[in-house]
């Protein structure tokens, strides 16, 4: 509900800007549950479809992503299968299905590393406090000082190019922000009276962290994990696009985009579809993260 306000006798500019009426403060409607929100359902459906497509790619497209047919090279969508073919006559739809296996597996490995490293570090710092917290925080500051993508690239430089090194680099670069958020959340919960009560009952710090802090931090940490999933997907695809991750020819979405850029003029679909699938997947993860947070 908005009420238009009139301010008589103002300049033209002021009147023009009056179009931006200040909205009335309306009470925030109680949030609908996740399964009643169309956007969240769409996001979940897309993620499920992409995952299923990747898992069942050998069934759905048994010929595999590498079968080339030069006589069918650079066919537009429609003529050459659902989404057209690439420069070697390989079917784009098949490659996208199979590509999900590399892209999503890479993101999953990276995310496992992010949570596996970030969660214990953040919980430790946040629930212990004191010297442990101070030392860990300074270390995290130093870690965070390296821009995410550059940190991942440095790891790739040290380990050598490849899908696994790229996943490790991306996971390591996402772990520091995750630890930060876990620490802040743990600290906020540690100040609650029920933690004091648990301590008074003689619960060990470890038990408090795992049984009392972790469950209460779960919503925030899940939401942030989804946001980080979106992030590692993007960073991983960036590395593959730059040719630092998957070896050439791998039907990873980022690498496919890299293949497509040389044919941008003659076969724009080669770059358009992998980018679209990647963007929609990242968007779905971000959207779901936002909704879980709320």
Partner 1 sequence: MVGYIARRLLEAVLVLWLAATLAFVAMQLTPGDPAQTLLAASGASAAEIAERRAQLGLDDPLFVQYARYLMDLVRGDLGTSWLQGRSVGRMILERIAGTVELAIAAGVLGAVLGIALGLLAALYRGTWVDTVAMAVAAISLSTPVFWSGLLLILVFSLYLRWFPSSGWGDVRHLVLPALTLGFSLAGSIARLVRTQVIEILRMPFVLTAQARGIPLWRILLLHVLRPAAGPVVTLIGLQFGFLLGGAVVTESVFAREGLGRLTVQAILWRDLPVVRGIALVSAIAYLLTSLIADLCHAWLDPRLRQDRGI
Q: Pick from 253, 135, 117, 224: which is nearest to 173 by CA?
A: 117
CB 244 to partner 1: min, Å = 6
Phi and psi torsions of 81, nearest 5°: 75, -175
What six digits make up the tokens of 44?
Answer: 């979940």
Task: Tell me which of 26, 38, 59, 191 binds partner 1, using CB under 8 A.
Answer: 26
Residues 6+ apart with CB under 8 A from 172: 113, 117, 151, 152, 155
Query: Which CB sits closer to partner 1, 2 or 71?
Result: 2
φ/ψ of 78, rounded to 5, equals: 100, -70
DSSP category for residue 2: -
DSSP state of 65: T
Which residue lies nearer to partner 1 by CB, 55 or 144? Answer: 144
- The C-alpha atoms of residue 46 and residue 68 are separated, in whole angstroms, by 29
Site size toward partner 1, by CB under 8 A: 62
Closer CB to partner 1, 168 or 195, in the complex:
168
Region binding partner 1 by CB under 8 A among candidate stretches 101-109, 188-196, 205-213, 234-242:
234-242
Closest by CA to 280, choosing from 270, 290, 272, is 272
Q: Indicate whether 260 belongs to the interface with partner 1 (CB under 8 A).
A: yes
Binders of partner 1 among 153-172, rule CB under 8 A? Answer: 153-158, 160-161
Residue 91's DSSP bridge partners are 85
User: Distance between CA atoms of 223 and 44, rounded to whole angstroms?
Assistant: 14
Contact pick of 48, 142, 164, 210 for partner 1 (by CB under 8 A): 142
| Binding of partner 1 by 151 (CB under 8 A) | yes
CA-wise closest residue to 152 among 93, 41, 212, 234? 234
Stretch that binds partner 1, among 81-89, 193-201, 207-215, 250-258 (CB under 8 A): 250-258
CB nearer to partner 1: pick between 7 and 35 = 7
Q: Which residues, numbered 3-22, are part of the site for partner 1 (CB under 8 A)?
A: 5, 7, 10-11, 13-14, 17-18, 20-22
CA distance 58 to 18: 60
Q: Taking the complex as a whole, how short is the minimal distance between the CB of residue 198 and partner 1, in angstroms?
A: 32
37 scored as a contact of partner 1 (CB under 8 A): no
Looking at 149, 188, 198, 203, which residue binds partner 1 (CB under 8 A)?
A: 149
Q: Could you say which of 150, 197, 210, 218 contacts partner 1 (CB under 8 A)? A: 150
Residue among 89, 86, 95, 68 at smallest CA distance from 263: 86
CA 243 to chain centre: 20
Cβ atoms 112, 198 nearer than 8 A: no
Site of interaction with partner 1 (CB under 8 A): 2, 5, 7, 10-11, 13-14, 17-18, 20-23, 25-26, 138-139, 141-151, 153-158, 160-161, 230, 234, 237-238, 241-244, 254, 257-258, 260-261, 264-265, 268, 271-272, 275-276, 278-279, 282-283, 286-287
């Amino acid at each position: 509900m908005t009420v238009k306000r009139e301010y008589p006798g103002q300049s033209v500019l002021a009147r023009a800007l009056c179009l931006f009426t200040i909205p009335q403060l309306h009470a925030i409607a109680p949030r609908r549950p996740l399964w009643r929100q169309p956007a969240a359902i769409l996001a979940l459906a897309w993620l499920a479809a992409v995952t299923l497509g990747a898992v069942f790619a050998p069934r759905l497209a048994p010929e595999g992503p590498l079968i080339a047919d030069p006589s069918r090279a650079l066919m537009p969508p429609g003529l050459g299968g659902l989404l057209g073919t690439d420069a070697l006559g390989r079917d784009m739809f098949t490659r996208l299905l199979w590509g999900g296996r590399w892209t999503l597996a890479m993101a999953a490995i990276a995310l496992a590393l992010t949570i596996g490293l970030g969660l214990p570090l953040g919980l430790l710092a946040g629930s212990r406090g004191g010297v442990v917290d101070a030392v860990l925080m300074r270390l995290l500051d130093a870690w965070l000082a390296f821009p995410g993508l550059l940190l991942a690239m440095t790891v790739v430089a040290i380990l050598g190019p490849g899908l696994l090194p790229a996943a490790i680099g991306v996971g390591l670069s996402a772990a520091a922000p995750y630890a930060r958020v876990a620490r802040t959340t743990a600290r906020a919960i540690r100040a609650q009276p029920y933690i004091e009560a648990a301590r008074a009952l003689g619960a060990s710090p470890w038990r408090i962290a795992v049984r009392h802090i972790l469950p209460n931090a779960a919503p925030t940490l899940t939401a942030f994990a989804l946001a980080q999933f979106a992030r590692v997907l993007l960073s991983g695809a960036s590395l593959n696009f730059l040719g630092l991750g998957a070896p050439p020819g791998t039907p990873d979405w980022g690498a496919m985009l890299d293949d497509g850029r040389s044919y941008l003029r003659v076969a724009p679909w080669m770059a358009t579809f992998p980018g679209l699938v990647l963007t929609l997947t990242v968007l779905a993860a971000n959207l779901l993260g936002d909704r879980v947070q709320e």
